[in-house]
Amino acid sequence: MTGHVYVSRRLSAAPMTALESLGVPIVVHPDPDWPPSRGELLDAVRGASALVTLLTERVDTELLKATGNALQIVANCAVGYDNVDVNAASSRGVVVTNTPGVLDEATADCAFGLILAMARRLVEADRFMRTGKEWIWAPQSFVGIDVSAGATLGIVGLGRIGMAVARRAHAFNMRILATGSRADNREAAAFGVQAVEIGTLLRESDIVSLHCPLTSDTRHLIGAPELDIMKASSILVNTARGPIVDEEALVEALESRIIAGAALDVYEQEPRPHPRLVKLENVVLLPHIASAGEATRNAMCQLAVDNVRAVLNGERPPTPVAG
């Protein structure tokens, strides 16, 4: 089949219907819950004019060559596109798009939920209750961080999602430190954000929340040296991309209590967390669900479809990252 749109995992219902209405053949990977193998992916994309991919698909030179000469767009259904070789796509005249904006609030909700869950030890307390052990109220039982009593939140990468987290932190009367190009703009100032260097942020924050993209510069941005300068009572939260954190170094820091805890939605070797992480009590672990609100996932899928429609119609897509 040539000129088809390949979808690496079935989209939500309304966007899928919209995609099918484009009047071009649609090929969808048959397993809705598990990605195609590399071999299946290379076979399925041959002759495709458009690819709708997820972060689980590596779109590199090999895959782009496998498509032949018909490919016009890679519509990545995610805000991050570190799984796509943008330069290789651009050199072949292929547009790459992502889905920014539509998942900011949902991701910020999840990040702040992790902040509260870890700071107030909610998941740890829930696990305790499920053991059936006898208990009675005690002054020092499951004491955590008083988030709304002046705790300092450090936001690494104050982009759209980071700003949404800052709005929530402002409502909790937190002191907010941030890195990134937007950390000293007018909007940030309205929420009391103080722009600082990352070293200052790590040393002074009670909670560090990561919101920067994964690039060659941010891979292992948080490693042993960075963890060493954080407060012993501090918490690391990651809803961005797993490889921003050196997971081996994080595990060692958690085991030795160099920092107090971590709350993670993403992992360096996703979908597999570090095997020692799952044995620790001072962590909260989620299976990459920060954008998993129904309206948000529908909006992500619809934006990917809108990008495909525009490019196949010879128009500029709504959210290009290259091409």
241 as an active site residue: the answer is yes
Strands 95-97, 152-156: pairing is unpaired
- Catalytic residue, candidates 9, 288, 297, 309: 288
Helix axes 122-130, 104-119, angle to 10 degrees: 60
pLDDT attached to residue 32: 87
Asked if 155 and 179 touch (Cβ cutoff 8 Å), the reply is yes
Is 175 in the active site? no
Query: Between the CA of residue 142 and those of 133, 145, 146, 204, 241, what are the distances in Å?
Result: 15, 10, 12, 23, 29
What's this model's pTM, rounded to 2 decimal places? 0.93
Find, among 302, 301, 300, 320, the residue nearest to 311 by Cα. Answer: 320
Total residues found in the chain within this entry: 323
Residue with tokens 């002054």: 139
Structural domains in the chain plus CATH codes: 5-100+294-322 (3.40.50.720), 104-285 (3.40.50.720)
Please pick, among 20, 40, 124, 270, the residue that the annotation labels catalytic: 270
The 10s digit of each residue's pLDDT in 245-300 is 999 999 999 999 999 999 999 999 999 999 999 999 999 999 999 999 999 999 99
Mean per-residue pLDDT over the chain, rounded: 96
Annotated catalytic residue within 121, 241, 274, 297? 241
Q: What is the pLDDT of residue 145?
A: 95
Which candidate, 164, 4, 201, 155, places its Cα nearest to that of 79? 164
* Residue 81 C-alpha from the chain's centroid: 10
Peptide bond just before 287 cis, omega within 30 deg: no
